[in-house]
Amino acid sequence: MQYTQLGRAGLKVSRLCLGTMNFGPQTSEEDSFKIMDHALDLGINFWDTADVYGWKEGEGYTEHIMGRYFAQGGGRREKVVLATKVFGGMGKGETKDWPNTNHLSALHIRRACDDSLKRLQTDHLDLYQMHHVDRETPWEEIYQAFETLVQQGKVVYFGSSNFAGWHIAQASEAALKRNFLGLISEQTHYNLNVRMPELELIPACKHYGLGLIPWSPLAGGLLGGVLQKVSEGRRAGMDIEPHREKLEKWEGLCRELGEKPADVALAWLLNNPVVTAPIIGPRTMEQLDGSLRALEIKLADETLKTLDEIFPGRRTAPEEYAW
């Protein structure tokens, strides 16, 4: 396994991040345990989850599964750089529609962190990520809550998710005024087919020293060889017709390279120096093993140019739209 620093922090994480969103809804607890064990065998030490994963309202279903896994001992928790998130609604039953059960008020952050620690059966979180920007809560309040969590030993590092470049700038400047480390990572929707982050988000991450953690690196399966799967009689699970022309070029290029489309898509992300680790969300052991090939692929400049022709990228702002 290859390792790198997460943004400007000294924290070392694997170049692939184990996403756990399928644990519970699509992957049984038994199989989830096997995948997590195998991830450790492969040296994948960076694991991502969220309090809302599992999609059972207010239950933190996926965190519970991971907590029971860590409770087995054997150094499982100690080997993992554990990341979870806060923002989504966690009220249930009588508190379902009550205020302060979501977003980023200091009250919700405090409660949500304690609840995640209990579900994950750990005494601290290595990376605590804001799942979304809160446009109603001032940064002074958010950072006061974060600083308290650090002082209490409950959180080591903080990150964001689904932020814009402007939000990264706001958050980073607010942290500087407090002499606080602030954000070290941003988790965002980024892949060959979704390149909007190149406009302002990636330049902001580069400037402030945040590691980029792309989610949906295969564009929901679009970049995983979907045309080949359809030709074999498998269902696409999506409307591929609007993308057919570029997918034909994409899968044709991958055949010329002698590589699987999913591996090339991951390798393309790993080629970006701002990207720390794409999030892979394996439902099976086979999918987990299959992701490792991406670490070995080195894309030539000519190949990168061809990929830009198939999936046009964005220049950084303001050059994209002004001089």
Could you report the per-residue pLDDT of 144-162, keeping only the tens digit for each? 999 999 999 999 999 999 9
Q: Which residue in 28, 108, 100, 102 sits closest to 62, CA to CA?
A: 28
Does residue 284 have a pLDDT over 90?
no
Least confident of 84-93, 117-126, 133-142, 211-220: 84-93
CB atoms < 10 A from the CB of 29, how many? 16
β-bridge mates for residue 127, sequence order: 83, 157
- State how far the alpha carbon of 291 is from the alpha carbons of 26, 170, 210, 265, in Å: 19, 35, 24, 10
As a whole number, mean pLDDT of residues 213-221 equals 95
CB atoms < 10 A from the CB of 281, how many? 21
pLDDT classification of 88: cutoffs 50, 70, 90: very high
How remote is the C-alpha of 49 from its chain's centroid? 8
Strands 155-161 and 125-130: parallel
For position 168, what pLDDT does the model report?
98
Identify the residue with better confidence: 22 or 55: 22
Q: Reduce the DSSP state of residue 212 to 3 states and report it.
A: strand
Are 184 and 6 in contact by the 8 Å Cβ rule? The answer is yes
Tokens 């700038």 sit at which residue? 169
Taking only the tens place, the pLDDT of each residue in 29-52 is 999 999 999 999 999 999 999 999
- Size of the chain in residues: 323
pLDDT classification of 97: cutoffs 50, 70, 90: confident
As a whole number, mean pLDDT of residues 18-29 equals 95
pLDDT classification of 56: cutoffs 50, 70, 90: confident
CA angle 73, 29, 119 (to 5 degrees): 60
Residue 53 CB-density burial (10 A; 0-12 exposed, 13-18 middle, 19+ buried): buried
Are 267 and 294 in contact by the 8 Å Cβ rule? The answer is yes
CA dist 271 and 24 (Å) reads 32
Does residue 187 have a pLDDT over 90?
yes
As a whole number, mean pLDDT of residues 288-294 equals 94
Taking only the tens place, the pLDDT of each residue in 114-133 is 999 999 999 999 999 999 99
As a whole number, mean pLDDT of residues 279-295 equals 93
Does residue 64 have a pLDDT over 90?
yes
CA dist 210 and 126 (Å) reads 16
Active site residues: 53
CA dihedral 156, 190, 40, 38 (to 10 degrees): 150
For position 235, what pLDDT does the model report?
75
What average pLDDT does the chain have? 95
pLDDT classification of 3: cutoffs 50, 70, 90: very high
pLDDT classification of 311: cutoffs 50, 70, 90: very high
CA dist 185 and 129 (Å) reads 8
Does residue 6 have a pLDDT over 80?
yes
Instruction: Write out the DSSP string of 106-168.
Output: HHHHHHHHHHHHHHHT-S-EEEEEESS--SSS-HHHHHHHHHHHHHTTSEEEEEEES--HHHH
pLDDT classification of 181: cutoffs 50, 70, 90: very high
Domains in the chain, start-ordered, CATH in brackets?
3-310 (3.20.20.100)
Taking only the tens place, the pLDDT of each residue in 230-262 is 888 777 777 888 899 999 999 999 999 999 999
Are 215 and 83 in contact by the 8 Å Cβ rule? The answer is no
For position 185, what pLDDT does the model report?
98
- For the chain, helix (H) and strand (E) counts, in that order, are 11, 10
